[in-house]
Amino acid sequence: MKCSMCGREIMNPGANYCDYCGTPVGDVTYQAEQVQPQQTGEVKRDKVPMLWYLGVMCLPLVPMVGSIAYLVMLFFWAFAPSIEDSRKSWARAALIYTGITLVLGIVLCIAIFSFAMSAASSFM
């Protein structure tokens, strides 16, 4: 009998494993060892749960410093090289959404203020 892994002759016909390389032979059921990939310097990070994102989105509700901390965090996540792609994409999308909301809010405030000033000047 020959070993299927190393090709050497197995002298014991009733052997369950190759004497040289340890490979199972015959009708042996075994569980293969999981081979760990070699470290390439990249850190494997777990995915961030959805509730964490919702918690981060509530950060601007904290009085005084919440909005500033939220923007700083978004800029860091959007442009830092060590952040994983999923969080980076989410931060960029959140920055775009925040920018659009800010511009629309400013335009709406200007429109309301100008309407109020024109209405007030018509009464005088």
Residues 6+ apart with CB under 8 A from 45: 84
* Predicted local confidence at residue 33, as pLDDT: 52
Q: How confident is the model over 11-15, as a mean pLDDT?
A: 78
* Predicted local confidence at residue 105, as pLDDT: 96
What CA–CA distances, in Å, run from 57 to 54, 71, 94?
5, 11, 9
The mean-pLDDT minimum among 28-37, 57-66, 114-123 falls in: 28-37
* Predicted local confidence at residue 106, as pLDDT: 97
Q: Indicate the residue type of 71.
A: L
Question: The whole model's pTM is what?
Answer: 0.53
Higher pLDDT, 33 or 92: 92
Q: Are 102 and 119 in contact (CB under 8 A)?
A: no
Q: How confident is the model over 92-105, as a mean pLDDT?
A: 94
